[in-house]
Structure 1
Amino acid sequence: MATVELTTENFNEVVNGPGVVLVDFWASWCGPCRMFAPVYEKASEQHQDMTFGTVDTEAQTELAQAFGISSIPTLMVARDGVVVYAQPGALPEPALADLISKVQQLDMDEVRASIAAQQQQQ
């Protein structure tokens, strides 16, 4: 599956949907972003049951600002509409594979309960 270009128009619909969604915040001038792109594309081909999206931070400045993106590439992962990972830095292929595996193993009921407990403490 090819990656999906995410914009302010389709971002919420894609990311808040069911399943696992990976989002790569990048820019064409960014060397580490260009190095990470083939790793990300290969993972998208290996995991066709997931959605792999990209956000061009130059073209989609509103999205980059909304998520506080100050360093690229930044990888964000959402599962069933809940952001479960967001870190800057280009991941090597084994680290990305490990992250995907861990996200697949998450107990989302447990994650939602943890989020609800944190919100009650605030």
Structure 2
Amino acid sequence: MSNIIKITSKEQFDKIIATEKNVFVDFNAQWCGPCKMLAPFVHQLAEETQGVTFLDVDVDSNSDLALEYQIMSIPALMTFKEGKAAKKHTGFMAKNQLEEFVK
């Protein structure tokens, strides 16, 4: 069982960002090769990390969010601290880099 919340609407996303203290967001798409390579690391990190809410945003089914956060290429990773965007990274990263990014 994964600890990652699959986002289905902007309302759901906004509510989680507003209520959770630390949020990690993986913007991706089904057809994206690097996204598929990154997914196992994200899932593993979600299992191992306490105090962070992990979100999975498919940019094709949530284009409003992709537009709002200016996601031009994927995978795009973002962290939010207390409702505010904190960090953003575009492209694949190794698991150890991902761990540092989430901290």
Do these two structures clear the TM 0.5 threshold for a shared fold by scoring above it? Answer: yes
C-alpha deviation, 1:3, in angstroms: 0.5
Q: Which amino acid aligns with 1:15?
A: I
Q: Is 1:35 aligned to residue 74 of structure 2?
A: no
1:74 aligns with 76
1:83 aligns with 85
What's the C-alpha RMSD, in Å, of the aligned pairs? Answer: 1.2
Q: TM-score, normalised by structure 1?
A: 0.78
Where does structure 2 lack aligned partners over 5 or more consecutive residues? none
Q: Distance in 2 between matches of 1:57 and 1:91?
A: 19
1:97 to 76, 96, 99: 99
Q: Which amino acid aligns with 2:21?
A: G
Q: Which runs of 4+ in 1 moved over 4 A?
A: none
1:42-57 aligned within 5 A: 42-57=44-59
Identity %: 32
Q: Distance in 2 between matches of 1:17 and 1:91?
A: 28
Between 1 and 2, higher relative CO (CA 8 Å, sep ≥ 6) is seen in: 2
1:64 aligns with 66
Where does structure 1 lack aligned partners over 5 or more consecutive residues? 102-122
Q: TM-score, normalised by structure 2?
A: 0.91
Q: Distance in 2 between matches of 1:80 and 1:44?
A: 19
SS of residue in 1 equivalent to 2:66: helix
Question: By percentage of residues, which structure has more helix?
Answer: 1
Structure showing greater radius of gyration is 1
SS of residue in 2 equivalent to 1:71: coil
Q: Distance in 2 between matches of 1:17 and 1:9?
A: 12
